[in-house]
Structure 1
Amino acid sequence: MNYYEVNFDGLVGPTHNYAGLSYGNVASKSNANKTSNPKQAALQGLEKMWHLVQLGLHQGVVAPNARPDLITLRACGFAGSDSAVISKAAKAQPQLLKACYSASSMWTANAATVSPSCDSADGKLHITPANLNNKLHRAIEAPQTSQILKAMFSDPDFFSHHEALPQHPLYGDEGAANYTRLADSYGHQGLALFVYGEDAHTQVKPQLFPARQTRQASEAVARSHQLDPQNTLFIQQNPEVIDQGVFHNDVIAIGNENVFLFHEQAFYQQQGVIEQIKAGYQGDRPLHLIEVKNADISVEDAVKSYVFNSQLVSLPSGGMAVIAPGECQMVGKVEQYLSALCQASNPVSEVIYMDLKQSMQNGGGPACLRLRVTLSQQELSAVNPACLLDEGLYHRLRDWINTHYRDRLSEADLADPSLMTESQTALDTLTTILNLGSVYPFQQA
C-alpha cells in the first residue's frame, strides 16, 4: 500500500500581530509591537502550500483558531456584550487581550503530535493535541485545535483522537516541533524521536529560557499512541542551545525518512544520542546522519536564519528538497552550507527559498507552519477532502484572504471591537470553504 507524507499547514489568521508574547523566541521578542500585515502573512503561507502542490506533493490546510478568545476573557472576569468584553480588557488587562488575539495557532507544528498507523499497535493513526502550557497565548489553543483536527480526520476506523495532556508543568507538550520520525520509507515501521528540554528526575535544564517540552509529556504521548518502546527514543535537547533561543527541536534539527540533519550542539551528550539512533534505525536504505559543525553554521546563525526550521521533503521525482526561508540567503555561511549540502553524497538535491517574512518576524519558519502527517492511500481518502489543497481551493483561499484581511494591524487596533467582527465573519466563511461545520464558539452562541 502507498503511504504519503502530507503537510497540513496552518492558515495565518486575520488577527496576525506582533505582540512579542513568546519569551525564549528571539524573533518574537525583537519584533514586538511592530505593525503587522495579516493579508501578506496569509498569502505568503498559502503560496508556500501551493508551491508544494506544484512539486507533486499532497498538501492540507488547517483553519486558524477563532480570535479573540472570548471564552478566556470571560473566564477572567470580563462581562457584558462581546464588544464590551474587548473594550474592558483593553483598558484593564491589555497583555491578556494580546494573548487572546494571538494568531499563533498558525504554527501547526505545535498543534499536535501525530503517529502513523504503521507505527502504532492498533494500526490506527493517533493524534494528541499539544497543551502548550508554557505560554498563555498558546495554552488556550488546545480545545479548539482538537475540534478542528476532529473535523479534518473524522473517520474512527482510521483515526484515534486523544485529549491534550494535563495543564501542569510536569506535562508540558509542544507537539510535533519536538518529534521526528526516521524510516526507510513513509510506510515502514519508523524510529520515533521525542526530544525534550527537561526531565523532572534530573537537574539538567536551561538556566535562562524555559524548557517547554518535558520527558514526562513525551513518554505519555508515546504510550497513548501505542508505540513500540523498541522503536522509540527519548532524547534531551542541549540546555545550552535552549538558552540561545532554540526553544524547539525544529530550530536545531530536521529529519525526513532516512535523513537527519542536526547541529553538533543540538543534543545533550550528543555522541551517545547518535549511537542510539544508529542502533534503532531499521531499513534497507542507508541512514544519513548529517551533523552540521559550528564552524559551518553557528547556533546564532541557525537561530537568525532558521535554517533547521526548513522543511525537508521527498520529491516524487526522487531525492529530497529543502524548503528554506528566504532569510537563509541573507546569512552567507548558511546559504553556502545549503548549496554544498546539495552537492554532497546524500539524498538532498535541491534548495527552494520561500518568502515567509511575516511569519519569520514572529518567530516561525517553514517547518513551524506545518504539521506532518503520514497517511496510507486509504487514510488519505478518509481525510476531509475540502481541507486538501488543489488549484480550486488555492484560488478560493486567495480570494477569501483578499476579501477579509487587513493589510495593517497595530497593537492599538486590538482594542477596536470591529476587528473581532471582521475576524468572526472571515472564519465563519472559511468553515464553509473547508467544510468544518461549527467548530468555532461564536458559531454556537
Structure 2
Amino acid sequence: MTKMLSLALFLFPGYHLGAWRLPDAVPELDLTIEHYVRAAKLAEEAKLDAIFFEDQAAVRRSNDILAGDTYGAANPRSIHFDPTMVLPALAMVTTHLGLAATSTTTFNDPYNLARRFSTLDFLSHGRAGWNLVTSFNEDEAQNFGLDAHLAHAARYARASEFVDVVTGLWESWEKGAITRDKKTGSYFDIEKMHFLQHAGEHFTVRGPLTTGRSPQVRPVIFQAGSSEPGRELAARTADVVFTLQSDIVEAKAFRDDIRARAVRFGRNPEKIKILVGMTPIVGTTDEDARELAARMMALIPDDLALSNLKPLAGGVDFREFDLNAPVPELPESNAGKSHREAIMSVSRDQNLSVIETARYFAEGSYLKMIGSPASIADTMQEWREAGACDGFLAVPTHYPTGVEDFTGLVVPELQRRGAFRTEYTGAHLRDHLGLTKYDQTPTADDGQS
C-alpha cells in the first residue's frame, strides 16, 4: 500500500540567492500581501497541509555591514514581513490550509506568544501552527539589548521552560468554560478557568489567557533542531520536526532517533511527524530542470555564496580557505548546530569543494530535487517508503513560477499515484497531519506529551 505524504509549503522570499533575478520572478513577494495571498491559494488548491514562514528579527550579517562588507550581506533573505502579522490575512482568504510561522523563544515572552497563536487559531478556525526556534542568527541579540547571543545550552533551557508555559496557558480554559449565558448573566464558568501560577527559573506567569480555549487547544508545534538538546526538546514537545537531511540513510537514522526519544517521553511516535526540507527545481524533462538549475546558479556571485555561508557556520569566513579543497572540520560555535553539521555532511557526502558547498547553500539549505514532476515524485516516494521521513517541507526557489511548478505539477503527480490527498478530510491542521487532538478525551495511543 502506498504511504501517504505530509506536505507543507515553505514560502521564503529570496530563498535561492539567484532565482529572484530571473525575468519571470517577482521578488516583491517579500513585502506585498497580494502575492502571499495568491501563494496561499495555490497551496490550498493543491490540498497541502500548511504554508509555513520563517522569521529572523535582524538584517543578516549586520556586523559585516558595519565593517564595510555590504555586498555579501545585502541579500534578499534579509527582507520580509513579521510572519505572525501575515497569517491572519491569509486566514481570511483560505478555509483549510494550515498557517504556521516561526517565533523565537529567545526574544519573546511566553504569555504574548501563547496569546498570539491562540488568537490565530480562533481566526483560522483551528489551523494555526507555531515553529519553535531558539534563534541561530546572532545579529538578533543586538536588537534585544544584548551584546551577544545567549549560550546554546542556555537558549534550549529557556526554550524548554518556555514551551511548558505556552502549552499550560493554551490549556488554562476547559472545554465549555465560556458560557455567555444571557438568562443567568454568567459569561464564563469560573470553575473551568485555571490560573497557571508558573514560577520557574526563567519565567513567572500567572495566567490564564484572555482568549479561552481555541479550536485546536494546542496549535501545532513545529521545530527544527539536530543538536542533542534540540532533539530532546523536539521529541518531548514537537508535533512536527523539520530536518536538514541530504542522505536517505542519515535521514532514516534521524527519524528513528526522534521517534525512539518520543517513546521515552511517553509519546506515540506515530503522532510526531518528520518532514525533510526539499527544494524542487521542476522542468518538463529532467534535462530542462538541470538547465534551469544551472541558469539560476549562474545568477549567484561567488562572493555572495561565500558570504552567505559565514553565519550558517557560526562566523567562519570560508574565503580564508582553499576554495577548491574540501570543507575542513568546522569549529563549534554559539550559532545553530543544524547548519554547521549540514555543511560538513553535504561537502563530505557529495564530495564538494568549499566553493561548491557555498553554491549549494546559496541555492538553499535543503535537499535539492531537480527533475521532471515524475522524477521528483519518484524521489519523494522513495524517501517515504524507506522510512526516511513522513513527508516534505517544500521550499520553492522563487515566486511565482517555483510555487506554481510544485503545486501545479509535482503535487498532481503525487495525487495520481495515491501518495497525497485529493481532498481535505478534516477542518483543523491537526487533522491534516494526523496528530493528537486535544479537544477530546485522549485515548491510550494518543501519546500526549
Q: Is TM-score (shorter-chain normalized) higher than 0.5? A: no
State TM-score, norm by structure 1: 0.30
State TM-score, norm by structure 2: 0.30
